[in-house]
Amino acid sequence: MKAMKVYEALNWASSFLKTNERDENAGELLLRHHMKMDRAQLFSRMQELLPMEMQSSFVFSVHKHVAGIPVQYLMGKEEFYGRNFFVSEEVLIPRPETEELVVGVLERISKHFPTDEKINVVDVGTGSGAIAVTLALENSRLSVQATDIAGESLEVAMDNAEALQAEVEFLQGDLLLPFIEQEIKVDVVVSNPPYIPEQEYKGLSTVVKDFEPYRALVGGVSGLEFYERFMEELPQVLKDRAIVAFEVGMGQGEAVKMLLEKTFPQASVEVVLDINGKDRMVFAEIG
């Protein structure tokens, strides 16, 4: 392959991605990643020749994305709440919708716990640690712990906490069992659990299905399996005054709301739509 100028590499990638029915914007993201530049820097270098070694690795990564590997895994990072988080194929790629969950949690904590005491927050199924780390950095009153069943995921989460200097304690275990076993009570439980029904999973795009971890995506036949398990465990760990915050799949809001209302009859439970108008979050304020 002959040496290309920056704009030629960008045009080639855009056209190649489009032909193969991938998002053509991925070309710019990957090129910026390889050149270690922001958008303005990239556009100011359009007429420069790409070094051959960089060109080869860029072309290779574009081909990998066409084969289905998500851009975020190729770059090893994704932005969440204005910060860069490491990601690998051991964790789900953080989504913008989950940023809305974090906003909702922070708002409700300030209303529900108006005094200055420490608030114990647990992020269940933390994956990359995006929720736990963000909560810890956004509100210094929060004492944040995070669990995940997979040690590989926890390693990524710990790297993110260290890189972003967030104080989070990580525990390996299934849902809330680490807290039940130690008889620990907490103020807030937040979770973005696996919620895709098994049948729906089969129809997902290859970029998601073939590369993101199955354990982080599928919530049994109905998609509600983890929420149902939470209803058995939450009463054992929550204090009398507490908040529960879940991300849910489209169309699951009312079902999850009913589960929470049945488990906590005195709670104020609401389904909140995301920026695209889809039911995406369910919050329960207890006590």
Contact 127, 216 (CB under 8 A): yes
Task: Please enumerate in sequence order all residues whose Cβ is within 8 A of that of 138, keeping only pairs 6 or more positions apart, or say none.
Answer: 81, 102, 106
174 is in an annotated binding site: no
Q: How many CB atoms lie within 10 A of CB 181?
A: 9
147 is in an annotated binding site: no
Q: How many CB atoms lie within 10 A of CB 203?
A: 8
143 is in an annotated binding site: no
Helices marked H in 113-197 — which ranges?
130-138, 151-163, 177-181
Phi-psi region of 175 (alpha: psi -120 to 50; beta: other; left: phi over 0): left
CA distances from 155 to 61, 162, 233 (A): 25, 11, 25
Find the distance separating the first CA and the last CA of the chain, reported in whole Å.
66
DSSP state of 214: G
125 is in an annotated binding site: yes
76 is in an annotated binding site: no
Q: Is 229 exposed, middle or buried (0-12, 13-18, 19+ CB in 10 A)?
A: middle
Nearest Cα neighbor of 284 from 156, 188, 164, 220 is: 188
Report how far residue 161's alpha carbon sits from residue 155's, in angstroms, rounded to the nearest whole number: 10
Report how far residue 184's alpha carbon sits from residue 201's, in angstroms, rounded to the nearest whole number: 35
| Dihedral sign of CA atoms 96, 102, 108, 114 in order | negative
194 is in an annotated binding site: yes
128 is in an annotated binding site: yes
Nearest Cα neighbor of 73 from 61, 85, 88 is: 88
195 is in an annotated binding site: yes
82 is in an annotated binding site: no
Per the annotation, binding residues for substrate are 192-195
Annotated binding-site members for S-adenosyl-L-methionine: 125-129, 148, 192
Residues annotated within the binding site are: 125-129, 148, 192-195
